[in-house]
Chain A
Amino acid sequence: MVGRDFDVRRLPGFGLIAVLTVIMLYLPIVILVVFSFNAEQSQTQWGGFSLRWYEAALNNRQVVDVSLRSLWLALAAAAIATVLATMAALATTRVSRFPGQTMIYALINQPLMVPEIVTGIALLIFVAFLKVQTGYSGMGYLVVAHAAFCIPFAYLPIRARLETMDLTLERAAADLYATPLQTFRYVTLPLLVPGILAGFMLGFVVSLDTVVITEFVKSAGQDTLPTYMLGQLRRVVTPEMNAIATLFLALSLVIVTLFFMISRKRG
């Protein structure tokens, strides 16, 4: 009884569930964004369009401080992670298998598998010990902790790019008497740039998103935007929080869109 217009790909009701699922994914975020522009304090009664909560957020010294700290921490951590991940990817991709490679993969992927809370308290213990031993309690701990956490995220796109790269160009360079270093500088590296950029962006977003590790590693006065928000959520929440969250969302959206564009060009 299979008719001509029978679509084997169609399963009744699935489209409806899919649309509802996507609506459910976005509805809370959309409401959050909409009420960041509310003229009133309410999160449910619309009182007209206003930017007062953005003004309040930008005039809030603490919010500006923690935002800037989050940004430079993410920049530093992503930069370090990208450099280290690029080196690691060059050493572990397109090469003959060597002893210890499995261990290297396990170490690189470890932050993806171990729950953040476990890494968080492990670092809390370790950093508490180091603070006593060295007397240093600066941002260095957070930078290293974030960098380590970002390495697998930076590593994956760089490795993927390396795997799909055309080897003939490098071979041609070698045939033309380029030294290995010249080949790397003028052939491999330019070809690798999209992967490196993608890795950097993922690392940046992941560092911005990280709350648990920061919460346990930070010293007094080292709040980032996520840990600041986590602390504020316990109190009465004003639409100022919506405004901060919206700005944050916009930043993530820009980076993820750029990431998508770069990865699509690759494919």
Chain B
Amino acid sequence: MAGPARESHRWKWLLVSPALFVLLLAASGPLVIVLIYSFLSPGNMGGVSWDPSTEAWFRVFWSRDIFEPELVTLNDSHLAIFWRTIWLSFQTTVICAVLGFPTAWFIATRSARTRMVWLFLITIPFWTNLLIRTFAIQEMIRSNGTINTALLWLGVIDEPLEMMFTEFAVLLGMAYVFLPLMVLPLYAAMEKLDFRLVEAGYDLYASRRQVLWHVILPLVKPGFIAGSILVFIPSIGAYVTPRVLGGGKTMMLGNLIALQFGQGRNWPLGAALAMVLLVIVVVALIFYLRVTGSEERARNGRA
């Protein structure tokens, strides 16, 4: 009986194998090479020399004195970039949640026809080029950009605000480009919301705030978690937005990695840093799966 069963699996493997081949070649396979490179020594002109070494991993967190290699200190510039990356990503997620929740709620409570229009309006920026949207933000906040021109004209300020190349610029840009990723899963959760539960809350003399906190928020929590992950993960790995809006002074982890393959000429360090980024993303994903998994179990248990 095992024969035909195995036979029937074979065609499936035949059909998926071209896709798997391309993915292994251009997505998964190269990641293994990155891991290997992180344990090698840097070559003279970029690249690597094949001497096994843990120096790259050491330098992710610590640095050595140039004259006395025994003198080891924490690598402050790296730690500052790690911290900035996590902190900015967290703030981006919070801003997207604060703006995204009312927006998704508003859309979900429209009639079916208008709902489609609003949803379309949210989705379009999501499918338009990230670089163009970042460019659009740059035009807004440049020293002679739209915002400064408007504020000067209104007489609110006397000289242009310097917003470019600051953490504020990066934060604004990331919140702007990733906002749809928060609205869409929140909307999906609200669309399934049983409004009789909301009504029951009001019938039991709950105030609007109490209904919001004790009925609506717990019910749309899965959407919040999904949206937060969808915003947090691309923020952590952001490269284009901090490069264009942040410049060299407000680098994020993605830019630090890229630097090692450019001017830095330290491929093993870049590879180790890329692995650190990957670990952060995987931890966030596992956290997400565990939270949604336990939610699911709780719901099934109740049913």
Interfacial residues, chain A to chain B (CB-CB below 8 A): 2, 6, 8-15, 17-19, 21-22, 24-29, 31-32, 35, 43-44, 80, 83-85, 87-88, 90-92, 95, 98-100, 104, 107-108, 110-111, 113-126, 128-129, 144-145, 147-149, 151, 155, 205, 208-209, 211-212, 216, 226, 229-230, 233, 237, 241-242, 245, 248-249, 252-253, 255-256, 260, 264
In the complex, are the beta carbons of A125 and B34 less than 8 A apart? Answer: yes
Taking the nearest CB of chain B, how far is it from the CB of A204, in angstroms?
11
In the complex, are the beta carbons of A128 and B140 less than 8 A apart? Answer: no
For A43, the chain B residues whose CB sits under 8 A away are 139, 142, 144-146
| Known A115-B237, A122-B33; contact A9-B140, beta-carbon cutoff 8 A | no
In the complex, are the beta carbons of B244 and A233 less than 8 A apart? Answer: yes
With beta carbons under 8 angstroms apart, the residue of A22, A85, A149, A208 that contacts B129 is A208
- Most chain-B CB neighbours within 10 Å: which of A43, A88, A95, A121? A121
Q: Is B102 at the interface (CB under 8 A from chain A)?
A: yes
With beta carbons under 8 angstroms apart, the residue of A18, A29, A115 that contacts B128 is A29
Can you list, as one digit per residue, whether each of B240-261 has a CB less than 8 Å from chain A (1) or not (0)? 1001100000000010011001
In the complex, are the beta carbons of A252 and B127 less than 8 A apart? Answer: yes
Taking the nearest CB of chain A, how far is it from the CB of B229, in angstroms?
10
| Known A126-B29, A249-B128; contact A118-B237, beta-carbon cutoff 8 A | yes
Nearest CB in chain B to that of A35: its residue = B139
Taking the nearest CB of chain A, how far is it from the CB of B105, in angstroms?
5
In the complex, what distance in Å separates the CA atom of A44 from the CA atom of B148? Answer: 10
B interface bracket (residues with beta carbon within 8 Å of A)? 35 or more
With beta carbons under 8 angstroms apart, the residue of A88, A120, A208 that contacts B16 is A88
Interfacial residues, chain B to chain A (CB-CB below 8 A): 9, 11-16, 18-20, 22-31, 33-34, 37, 47, 99-100, 102-103, 105-107, 109, 116, 118, 120-125, 127-133, 135-140, 142, 144-146, 149, 176, 179-180, 195, 198-199, 202-203, 208, 212, 233-234, 236-237, 239-240, 243-244, 254, 257-258, 261, 267, 270-271, 274, 277-278, 281, 285
In the complex, are the beta carbons of B176 and A113 less than 8 A apart? Answer: no
For A126, the chain B residues whose CB sits under 8 A away are 29-30, 33
In the complex, are the beta carbons of B127 and A144 less than 8 A apart? Answer: no
In the complex, what distance in Å separates the CA atom of A90 from the CA atom of B144? Answer: 54
In the complex, are the beta carbons of B237 and A124 less than 8 A apart? Answer: no
A-B contact pairs, 17 of them (CB 8 A): A11-B105, A11-B212, A17-B99, A17-B106, A28-B176, A80-B22, A115-B239, A120-B239, A125-B271, A144-B22, A155-B19, A230-B244, A248-B129, A252-B128, A252-B129, A256-B124, A256-B128
With beta carbons under 8 angstroms apart, the residue of A17, A29, A205, A237 that contacts B125 is A29
Taking the nearest CB of chain A, how far is it from the CB of B272, in angstroms?
11
In the complex, are the beta carbons of B144 and A22 less than 8 A apart? Answer: no
Taking the nearest CB of chain B, how far is it from the CB of A84, in angstroms?
4
In the complex, are the beta carbons of B102 and A14 less than 8 A apart? Answer: yes
Taking the nearest CB of chain A, how far is it from the CB of B236, in angstroms?
7
For B129, the chain A residues whose CB sits under 8 A away are 208-209, 226, 245, 248-249, 252
